[in-house]
Structure 1
Amino acid sequence: MATITALNSTFNNDSLACTNLYDHRSWAHIFLPIMYSLICIVGFLGNALALHVIWPNLKKMNSTTLYSANLVVSDILFSLSLPLRVVYYAKGFHWPMGEGLCKAIALLFYINMYAGVNFMTCLSVDRFIAVVLPLRFSRFRKVQNVKYICVAVWVVVLMQTLPLLSMPMTNVEESGHTTCMEYPNFEKIENLPVMLIGAVLLGYGIPVITILVCYSALCYKLRLLAKSNKLTEKSGRSRKAIGVICAVILVFVVCYSPYHVDLLQYMARKLQYKPDCSELHNFQISLHITVCLMNLNSCLDPFIYFFACKGYKKKVLKLLKKQVSMSFSSVVRTSPEGSSKDVFASEKFHMNNRTCQKPRSSMLVDDE
């Protein structure tokens, strides 16, 4: 108890020394709510569509679709928590909803982050096995075994995130604002730089290396296959594998890399010396931007489903064609040049066109 009191006292003294940590709220309370609102809407709709495609075909799932389904569940849960983050940022970094709800939101955030990283790594390994080692390790792609792997991944994710429940997530600032899930609220933890550097290496470093190795080996294998067999390039299997890996790499580069690199460099500096208030404020700003980028993963994950899940790709293309068709029809109906004479001419053209196409249509039926 004495140690905890001493730590709290030290933290409070440090926080009093730095009064500029949230000086950027003048623009952040507009920019961040807009960004998180867009992430919430786009991410929810994209993943809801994926769930709509996957759910009716649960009994026909393969390994790739199963990993994607777990990503969908993680992203949808995360999207449902974002409205509260929007309120928090709109109020200028003020959380009026209590410690318990702040911890719940933090838990969903970190679960989404680690689940996203781990399941994207699984997707990359799955594509690697499918193309490079299809016979030797095919058992790892059997649906029953993949279910066990998914359960194991969720267990690992919970082990990584549940300790957060024992940490204080909120802090009352001098200004009267109650902050939630902000970096300064964690500075009371002993050996924080070492812990965070370890978390970055385990939670980001190992998955990135795994994905890059899989990608390199996969590309090399496909190049060899293309040289030995020209028909390989025409098969959808190779394009699907490349599409999945490229989408995963894109999500990692755009979403996860800036945050983890930012965290790593600041913790490395913190081990060498105590950063001043100006450095801590700059780190706060960079964290708010890189965390926002990381949350974009829930919007970009549907691109992975687009390449990985055949049903999702067909559904998206069908919806796009339908939307284009509806837009075109709307333009024709509202066009000022759409006079009765033009409409009559258009109908005549279509009738003549159908008449001309009739013999060809009959011939095609005869051919079949």
Structure 2
Amino acid sequence: MERKLMSLPPSTSMPEMEPNGTFSSNNSNGNCTIENFKKDFYPTVYLIIFVWGTLGNGFSIYVFLQSYKKSTSVNVFMLNLAISDFLFTSTLPFRADYYLRGSNWIFGDLACRIMSYSLYVNMYSSIYFLTVLSIVRFLATVHPFRLLHVASIRSAWTLCGIIWILIMAAAVVLLNNGSERKGSAVLCLELNINKIVKLQTMNYVALVIGFLLPFCMLSICYLLIIRALLKVEVPELGLRVSHKKALITIIIALIIFLLCFLPYHILRTLHLLVWKVEICEEKLHKAVVITLALAGANSCLNPLLYYFAGENFKEKLRSTLRKDHLQETKCSIPVCTWLKKETQV
């Protein structure tokens, strides 16, 4: 969706559209500007998401890989979701720096191109991984025998590969344009407002295929799993555990959809519909900025899904922590302590 910002005469209000679909007036002579708001809001929120998301997803990846030989198809989808989140959060310090400098990019053209690309690849890969996870959980509970032939590790990796390829290919248009010098500053994350019709079309495609379709599938899974639970009065222990994990998976996924993705897609679409050069919609501008941050915050909530609904994730986590603790304990003898000091020197 990104396009280079077109230069306008000094007397003309020069709106800019960020990769989140936010238009903001950058005219120093006008009152319609949210540059100060973005400078205060984005760096703080992005750095919080960076710390929490990087630690949570990085450690989750480590736990998943510790017992990969005993992995399941569910954990394969969760591992890919964690990788997507980890790659996205690694770009946030660059975004924070850009807004701290008053929208001045210093990291080069290639890095600028990657910023928006990583945002949308993470957003829509997360949406589809969460949806597939919920469908697999639902089928494993309601139609376990039908799932046997598609629940293998190889099938899970194949489906993950298809999701990665399709989303990365669909978002490749974001790599077409990068940074642009304007005066003493280098702009990044800016779009060409003269292509508003094309942006609206792209938004509708992303809205329907990237959000509404997965959201409808997720909602249907939720309703069907509730119906299945109501039919089973006193399920067996194994079936009860399966139902519980399926319900937890779908509920957490729905919360992430409703909290992180739904507000952003609604406001982005509304903004593109009502936006006009001569009209200042400062409150709407700020609202879209906030919802973009919420969309990025999905990378902080996904580790909760791994902990509460992952296959044996709690046991793997305890085992990993126990091993680390034992290694520290074993190395507490005087010889090990001396070796540590020598190594540090």
Q: TM-score normalised to the size of structure 2?
A: 0.80
Q: 1:31 to 1:69 in 2, by over 3 A?
A: same
Q: 1:208 to 1:101 in 2, by over 3 A?
A: same
- Superposition pairs of residues 140-159 of structure 1, within 5 angstroms: 140-159=150-169
The answer as to whether partners of 2:75 and 2:311 remain within 8 angstroms in 1 is: no
Aligned residues: 306
Q: For the residues of structure 1 that align with 2:39 and 2:122, how far apart are their CA atoms?
A: 24
Task: Please tell me whether Structure 1 or Structure 2 has the larger radius of gyration of its CA atoms.
Answer: 1
Q: For the residues of structure 1 that align with 2:211 and 2:11, how far apart are their CA atoms?
A: 29
Letter in 2 for 1:313: K
The percent of aligned pairs where both chains have the same amino acid is 27
How much has 1:275 moved relative to structure 2?
Answer: 5.3
Q: For the residues of structure 2 that align with 1:127 and 1:66, how far apart are their CA atoms?
A: 13
**Which structure features the higher share of helix residues?**
1
The answer as to whether partners of 1:232 and 1:238 remain within 8 angstroms in 2 is: no
How much has 1:232 moved relative to structure 2?
Answer: 5.5
How much has 1:307 moved relative to structure 2?
Answer: 2.1
**2:212 aligned to which of 196, 199, 205:** 205
Q: For the residues of structure 2 that align with 1:170 and 1:284, how far apart are their CA atoms?
A: 22
**1:83 aligned to which of 78, 93, 118:** 93
2:310 aligned with 1:309? yes
The answer as to whether partners of 2:4 and 2:178 remain within 8 angstroms in 1 is: no
5+ residue gaps in structure 2? 16-23, 27-32, 323-345
Letter in 1 for 2:280: S
Letter in 2 for 1:43: G
Q: 1:230 to 1:40 in 2, by over 3 A?
A: same
1:97 partner SS:
coil
How much has 1:116 moved relative to structure 2?
Answer: 0.5
Letter in 1 for 2:288: L
Structure 2 equivalent of residue 332 of structure 1: none
Q: 1:318 to 1:15 in 2, by over 3 A?
A: farther
Q: For the residues of structure 2 that align with 1:70 and 1:36, how far apart are their CA atoms?
A: 22
CA root-mean-square deviation: 2.8
2:222 aligned with 1:215? yes
Letter in 2 for 1:21: S
Structure 2 equivalent of residue 276 of structure 1: 278
The answer as to whether partners of 1:255 and 1:297 remain within 8 angstroms in 2 is: yes
**1:178 aligned to which of 186, 210, 214:** 186
**1:238 aligned to which of 235, 239, 243:** 243
How much has 1:53 moved relative to structure 2?
Answer: 0.9
Letter in 2 for 1:276: E
5+ residue gaps in structure 1? 1-6, 322-368
Q: For the residues of structure 2 that align with 1:301 and 1:188, how far apart are their CA atoms?
A: 35
Higher relative contact order (CA 8 A, sep 6+): 2
Structure 2 equivalent of residue 252 of structure 1: 257
Q: For the residues of structure 2 that align with 1:25 and 1:142, how far apart are their CA atoms?
A: 50
How much has 1:194 moved relative to structure 2?
Answer: 1.7
1:52 partner SS:
helix
Q: Deviations over 1:150-190 (max 9, x none)?
A: 11111111121112112x2445557x5433223x4465365
Q: 1:195 to 1:146 in 2, by over 3 A?
A: same
Q: Deviations over 1:71-108 (max 9, x none)?
A: 11111111111111110111122212233211012221
Q: 1:93 to 1:316 in 2, by over 3 A?
A: farther
2:276 aligned with 1:266? no
Q: For the residues of structure 1 that align with 2:38 and 2:5, how far apart are their CA atoms?
A: 29
